[in-house]
Structure formats: C-alpha cells, structure tokens
Copies of this chain bind each other. A is one copy, B any other.
Amino acid sequence: MHFEELKPGGILIYNKTARFSLDKYMSEIDAKRIIVLGIPLTKMAREINVKRPVLANTISIGALLEILGLETDGYLRVIEERFGKESIIEMNRQALIKGNNFIKENSDVRYNLNPPTLEPKANIVVNGNHAIAIGAAASGLKFLSQYPITPASSILSYLSQHAEDFGIVVRQVEDEISAITMAVGAGWAGVRAMTATSGPGISLMAENIGLAGITETPVVIVDAMRGGPSTGVPTKTEQSDLMPIVHVSHGEFPRAIFAPRDIEEAYTLTFKAFNIAEKYQIPVFILSDFTLSERLENVEEFDVNLKIDRGKILDPEQRYPDYHRYAFTDDGISPRLLAPHPDGKHVGVGAEHDLDSNSLAGSQAGLYKSRWMKEQMFNKRFRKLKVLEETDMDPPIWDGEDDADLTFICWGSATTAVKATVDYLNSVSDDMKFNLLSFSDMFPLPVEKVKQELAKIKTGVIVEINYTGQLEQLLKLYVDYSPNGHIRHIDGEVLTRTRLLQYLKELELEEGKIEYSYIRRTKDFNKKEVM
C-alpha cells in the first residue's frame, strides 16, 4: 500500500475480502485522519456474474460517483458508447448502480463536487469563508480585527492577503476580547467593522458584544461553529451556538442572527448583515459552521453590486444644534453623526445613559428621571428589534413538493443534506410527498410570517446538528411551534443524505408511527457494513 500518496484527510476505498485486513495500518490511518471505506467489490462483482470479477472496477466507479455527488448518467453513456455488446453494457450498468447503491446505503462520506458547467469562466471554486470575506469587502468592510481559530481562520488569512486589494485595515490581534472591542471602536468611529471567530471566541467576546448592544454600535460578528462545548472537536461540525448567541452577554439588548444555507447565501447574507448592523445600529451575527466555512464549492461569480444601506447617518456638512445621540424616535433608531463633528460630541458608554449619552450610573442612579430614562432606553432599543423583525427578517423558504406529507424543518448549512434527502425521497416514493422549510434569518424570527408557513405543515420533523434542539427551542419560544419529531445529529460529521435516511428510519414520530414507503424499500439498509 502506498500510504505516502494518500493526502491527510483523504479517503481510502479498498476491496473488502475475508483475507485482507487493514488492522496493521490503523495507526497510520488514524494519524493521517484517513477515511476508510471497505467495499466487497469482488463479492459484489460475482453476484452479477461469477465469472467476471473485473466488474469490480465498474462497481468502484459507481461508488465513487456517489461519493463525489455526481450523477451516473454521464458514465452510463460512456459505457454504452464503449461496449457495443448489450449484455456487457447491461452487466456494467448493473455494476455501476450496485456500487452506487452500496454507498447510498452504507456510507455518509460525500464530497460535493458540482459537475462542471457550460460556462466555466463565470464560475469560481470557493468555500464559505471566502464568500463571507468577499461579501464583507464588497459591502464596504473597512476594518477587520480577528484572532485565528478553526474554522474561521481563513477569513483572516484571506483578507490579510488582500488588504490592499480591498482597502481594508486588517489586524490579527492578541485575543478575541481585543478583536471584538476594536471592532466596536471602529464601528463607533463609523466604518463597517467585523470580527470572525468560532465558539470559544464568541464566549470570550460576550462582554463586549453587550457593549455594542447598549451603545448601539453596528458591528458584524462571524461565528464559524465547530464541535463543542469548550474546545470540543475543532475540526468537526455542529450547529450548537444558536441559542448561546440568542442570549450571549449578560442582560438584555437587541441583536440579529443570520445563518447562510450555502455558499451563495454566505455571500448575500454577509451583505445583509452589514446593512442590518448599520440600519439598526446593533451587533449582527453570521452563523457559519465547519461544513460551510471549509467546504469548497463551484458557484457563480458573486454580484458585487448589491444594495448598501447605511441607515440613518447624518450629512457631516450640515449643523445639528439639537442633536442627541440617543434621540427617541418611532422606530427606536437614532441618527448617527460621526466624529469629528462639533454637534455630535458625546461619550459612548457601556452604562445606561440618557439621550445625550450621559451615564445614568454613579450619582445619577436611582433618581426619578434616571429610572424613567432606563425604562425608556429599554423600550427604544427593543423597538428597533420589533421594526427589524417586521421589516427585514425573511421567512423560511420551501423546497420540494407542495402540500407534502412530511416536511423537514432545518436551518443554515444543514439545508444541503436535507434538500438532497427530500429530492431522493420524492424520487423513490410514489405514495408520499416530501418537502423542506429552511431558515436563514434566525433572530429575531419574523413571527407572523413564520407562523403562516408553519401552519402549512402536515407532519414536521426538525433536523439540526446539535444535541438540545436549538431551532426547536427558538420555534417553541417565539412561534409556539412543536414538531412531530426531530433528528439531532451530534457525531461531528457533515450531515449527509445517507445519514439522514438512517436517522429517519429510526425516528418514531410522536403522533403515531408513520411508515414511509422509502423505509419499505430500503429494509436491508445497514450501517454496520461501514468501517
């Protein structure tokens, strides 16, 4: 075996026979993090035709196509062209499908290699972090302060390498506390500012996220989620920071959270995040995860001319004798007047404050007017959240069949696997219909719109990559929805269609068991075959 040639993290497919064992290679395999897949190729070939073990090659190609997420049609055409004889074509066709099905049923390893398209020039191969970085740059990012951490690091390294190209001040700083606090300082000074991290960094940033909250300073924070809690499994995936971020930092203040479903959305939602941050003067989170941040995909070149909305920023050429930094308004949003301007002078402050940003702590605390002002400042800040909810938060989107018997509900990057599953189920089932409802605009949930959509569900199953059901908590809390069942994937691996089908098989839906046709069809499905 030529282990040297295997890339770390690569995949080893081998012909599984009774005589051959990988045991003695295991330490090397572990060290290189190689994924091993044993397929009884010879045995399967002989099942088609005992005399043609060579069919093993076609079986392995069928397996490979499934792993790479490619269709079999193209290869079938090749077989047809290459082998004239119908019986040989048929044997090879069987072999191809056999290999393909073996993977479908036994393995959840997938590399989403989108097939090459007709216009290769307009397409780029990027990961989620590139999409976020370019999205930020295109939407006017001028300041990035970040501390490296898997899987957010490549946002920093990419923008470090392109600081001059985009005109962005990029600083690798001493820790995440510094990263967020510098970004708040820069946001307060008036630039579009961002920081990016993963869970441990979010935890460290908590206090100064609250500072952005009370000072109403726009700032964008990327959380590329990874296996938690604590150090967890840094190179594995989870969607487990949603509720921690809904409540991050002590006390109460408005925030917004977006979770891109795919690479394109990682780009467009980054744009949106900056617009929302400035329009509502709040901290805005982009929830990516290991899967999305690190997975390369072939997408179209991004549209760099999306709308930029800076919200209420006053013209620096005018005078504003009656300016109050935290003036009360109907929508709770007070216009900003950036330094240096003689009428805009004020002291940003983490303490509760009055219209002019005078602190209500210390000697002002407890005065009747301070008590009243404290109430009003809470009202003002939360008014913004309400307007945001009603104006700018988009409802979840549907995919799959209308009027389905079973709806999967999911969010963020899990959508890819759910969509593949829905498509598969719809393709194999003739008596049931499936669809999905997928969220990207997580917080504040647009309550009325979400309720409308949820009302259309017959049987709902929430699919998420965490242990405690965080989307489920959010839906319970804000729209009083409880699903019929849920699937919670916590082993760290990218969620795949195959894995989802396994879970679904095990699922007992609360309102009586519903036996799905696909289950009947895949009875022999058994994960024990996979190493």
A-to-B contact residues, CB < 8 Å: 30-33, 35, 177, 198-200, 202-204, 206-207, 210-211, 213-215, 223, 225, 227-236, 238, 240-241, 243-244, 246-253, 349-352, 360-361, 363-368, 370-372, 374-375, 378, 382, 466-468, 473, 476-477, 480, 490-493, 530-531
Contacts and interface: CB of A to CB of B under 8 A. Distances in A.
Contacts of A363: 30-33
A253 B467 CA distance: 9
A368 B530 contact: yes
Most B C-beta atoms less than 10 A away, residue of A206, A211, A480: A206
A361 B524 CA distance: 33
B490 A374 contact: yes
Given A210-B203, A244-B248, A247-B243, A364 B229 contact: no
Contacts of A367: 30, 33
Nearest to A241: B250
A214 B416 CA distance: 30
A493 B492 CA distance: 47
Given A244-B247, A247-B244, A371 B492 contact: yes
Contact of A210 (B198, B228, B250): B228
Given A370-B492, A378-B467, A492-B374, A246 B249 contact: no
Given A231-B349, A231-B361, A360-B233, A35 B473 contact: no
Given A210-B229, A350-B231, A490 B238 contact: no
Contacts of A365: 33, 233-236, 492
Contacts of A253: 229-230
B251 A352 contact: no
A233 B492 contact: no
A233 B468 contact: no
Given A30-B364, A235-B365, A492-B374, A477 B473 contact: yes
